Amino acid sequence: MNRTQVAGLMLLGTLLGPSVEALASQTLTGRVVDSLSQEPLPYAVVEVVLRPGDPRHAITDAQGVFTIQLPHHYRGHVVVGIRRIGYQRANRELSTGKIGVDTLHTIALQRMPTELASVTVTVARIQRLQRAGFYDRASSGFGHFIPEEKIVDRQPRHTSDILHGVPGISISPSRRGAGSFDIIITRARTRLRGPCRPRFIVDGKTVATSSDATFDLDAYVTPEEIAGIEIYRGPAETPAAFGGPESACGVIVIWTK
């Protein structure tokens, strides 16, 4: 290609303007916070549905920030749904005309009420754990089980406090910052290098694998929200329902109320 041809291509690019790729999407950025403390809320699930069958999802980071890509040609308003354990679900309508990289929408979530009728709540939680197979697995003799009554007896400030004293588990301050803790399975024997972090499952869904060093259990769920915990400290203890390659370092299963 000679200089004349190169110059012609450069001129054509200038006349055509931005590339199709550059115009393919626009960025919707937001920050999710606690409505009272204004503290950022990590691990909140954010969803935008532009049309049936086309949901867009994101999870907030440690600063409560999320980013979702929208088609550049989309105009009008979008409804953003936000949910997080322990908080009331929120729906917010945002104008796509104001969406841009430099625009940060702040969305505040309200905490869920914490007190209900005691007898009704207790029965409902027991039935929930029964349906989940919690008590059947507890009677098998494999794993370590902590039901709600034992959690209440321990009066923990943080969820990681519940795991103190469980054989095969080490809890130590994390490099993520003050008040953050790393949970390590010491009984597990794998070929992995470095700390053996467990896989975390909450209400049947994996929220962190052993490779996720940024996961903060205390930030994700509070002791008051927990109905029961199952702890499996290696593949030999782990039932098939929670097994697989991601469970080589053990599994911690949490059931919420």
Dihedral, 44, 201, 255, 84 alpha carbons, nearest 10:
0
Tell me which of 109, 135, 166 is where a domain ends: 109
Q: Are residues 248 and 122 in the same domain?
A: yes
Task: Kindly state whether residue 187 falls inside one of the protein's structural domains.
Answer: yes
Convert 45-97 into a string of H (helix), E (strand) and C (coil): EEEEECCCCCEEEEECCCCCEEEEEEECCCCCEEEEEEECCCECCEEEEEEHH
Query: How large is the average pLDDT for residues 174-200?
Result: 79
Domain that holds residue 205: 118-256
Q: Are 249 and 196 in contact (CB under 8 A)?
A: yes
Instruction: Give residue 99's pLDDT.
Output: 44
User: Is 6 inside a domain boundary?
Assistant: no
pLDDT at 123: 65
Q: What confidence score (pLDDT) does residue 15 get?
A: 43
Pair 127, 234 in one domain = yes
Identify whether 8 is part of a domain: no
Question: Which CATH number goes with the domain that contains 157?
Answer: 2.170.130.10
Would residue 123 count as lying in a domain? yes
Report phi then psi at 113, rounded to 5.
-60, 145
Higher pLDDT, 177 or 31: 31
Same structural domain for residues 221 and 185? yes
Predicted local distance difference test score (pLDDT) of residue 109: 95
Residue 67 and residue 39 share a domain: yes
Q: Are residues 175 and 235 in the same domain?
A: yes
The confidence score (pLDDT) of residue 211 equals: 86
Residue 2 contacts by C-beta under 8 Å, 6 or more apart in sequence?
none
100 and 132 share one domain: no
**pLDDT reading at 64 higher than 50:** yes
Claim to verify: residue 247 and residue 169 sit in the same structural domain: yes
- pLDDT > 80? residue 54: no
Look at residue 21 and tell me if it is in a domain.
Answer: yes
pLDDT given for residue 186 in this prediction: 87
CA 68, 70, 76, 78 torsion-angle sign: negative
Q: Which of 10-24, 120-134, 190-204 has the lowest mean pLDDT?
A: 10-24
Q: Domain for residue 83, yes or no? A: yes
53 and 23 in one domain? yes
Q: State how many domains the chain has.
A: 2
- Residues near 172 by Cβ (< 8 Å), separated by ≥ 6? 181, 182, 184
State whether 178 and 239 are in the same domain: yes
The verdict on pTM exceeding 0.75 is no
Q: Are residues 26 and 131 in the same domain?
A: no
201-248 pLDDT, tens digit per residue, is 999 999 999 888 889 999 999 999 999 999 999 999 999 999 988 899
Angstrom distances, CA of residue 133 to CA of 22, 138, 164, 180, 238:
50, 9, 24, 31, 14
Residue 89 is part of a domain; what is its CATH number? 2.60.40.10
Selection from 53-67, 168-182, 213-227 with the highest mean pLDDT: 213-227
For residue 6, name the pLDDT band (cuts at 50, 70, 90).
very low
